Structure 1
């Protein structure tokens, strides 16, 4: 297997674009090579097989969707209030909208995982780690609410994100700012 990290990352990013555009059935080494603009056969030199590629794509989606540390540090200078939690939820929505392909690729992987237990195990690890880190961040930052608050926000924002990125007309009549503010107010008030 080849070891050029920049090339591997470019191939994984190309795979994300293929998944977002063509779905999991369109994810082939040839399609990744084409999307990356590299010679045919390059992806097969970096990934042992399609399962290896998919597992690494799952990890790469997590990397791409992780907030930039400096941006979070700036945001976290604010008082620890519901308004700050609301702002963090808006930033999450904005981040995923900016990298729509990654979120759509992640949705494709979720669907594929319903048919492939080995991928399901990979995604359980990736998403569980993300949720644990979100809980830790929330609690360590002394934001309003507890562990259950974070899980409820995760579940509600997941639904909002899926609709926003796939069928935005469903939520068009409802201003996102109002929805997110009400969500945070209601979830944090329950604690």
Structure 2
């Protein structure tokens, strides 16, 4: 397998675009090569199989959707209150909108995992890690709420993101800032 890290990343990013645009069935080495504008056969030189490509795409989506550490550090200078939690949720929404293709590719992988147990096991680990890291961040930063608060925010924001990035008209009547502030207020009400 080829080891050019920049080329591998470009191929993974192209695979993310293919997944977002064409779905899981459209994810072929040829489609990735075309999206990356590289010679036919390039992707097959970097990934042992389609399953290997999918596994690496799952990790790459995690990297691309992660917040910028400097941005988080700047945000976390604010008082540790509900307003900060609301700001973090709005930043999450804006980050996912900026990485719409990546989020849609991740949704395609989730759907594909319902049909492929080996992919499901891998994605369970990826998403469990995301949730554990969110819990550790929230609790470690002494933000309002407990573990259940974080899980409720995770579930609510997942639904909000799916609608916003796939069928935005569903939530169009509800202003996002108010919706997110109400969500945070209610999720942290018992803490």
Q: TM-score range by the shorter chain?
A: over 0.9
Offset from partner CA, 1:40-95 (integer Å, 9 cap, x none):
00000000000000010000000000000000000000000000000000000000
TM-score, reference length from structure 2: 0.99
Q: In the TM superposition, what are the counterparts of 1:38-53 in structure 2 within 5 Å?
A: 38-53=38-53
The 3-state SS of whatever aligns with 2:188 is: helix
Instruction: Give ranges in structure 1 of 5+ residues lacking alignment.
Output: none
The answer to whether 1:105 aligns with 2:91 is no
Distance 1:119 1:128 in 2: 14
* CA RMSD across the alignment: 0.4
The 3-state SS of whatever aligns with 1:51 is: helix
1:56 paired residue number: 56
1:93 paired residue number: 93
TM-superposed CA distance for 1:190, in Å, is 2.3
Q: In the TM superposition, what are the counterparts of 1:1-191 in structure 2 within 5 Å?
A: 1-191=1-191
Alignment length (residue pairs): 191
Distance 1:64 1:124 in 2: 18
Structure 1 runs of 4+ aligned residues shifted over 2 Å read none
The 3-state SS of whatever aligns with 2:104 is: helix
TM-score, reference length from structure 1: 0.99
Distance 1:28 1:17 in 2: 12
Distance 2:85 2:125 in 1: 25
Offset from partner CA, 1:126-171 (integer Å, 9 cap, x none):
0000100000000110000011111110000000000000000000
The 3-state SS of whatever aligns with 1:189 is: coil
Instruction: Give ranges in structure 2 of 5+ residues lacking alignment.
Output: none
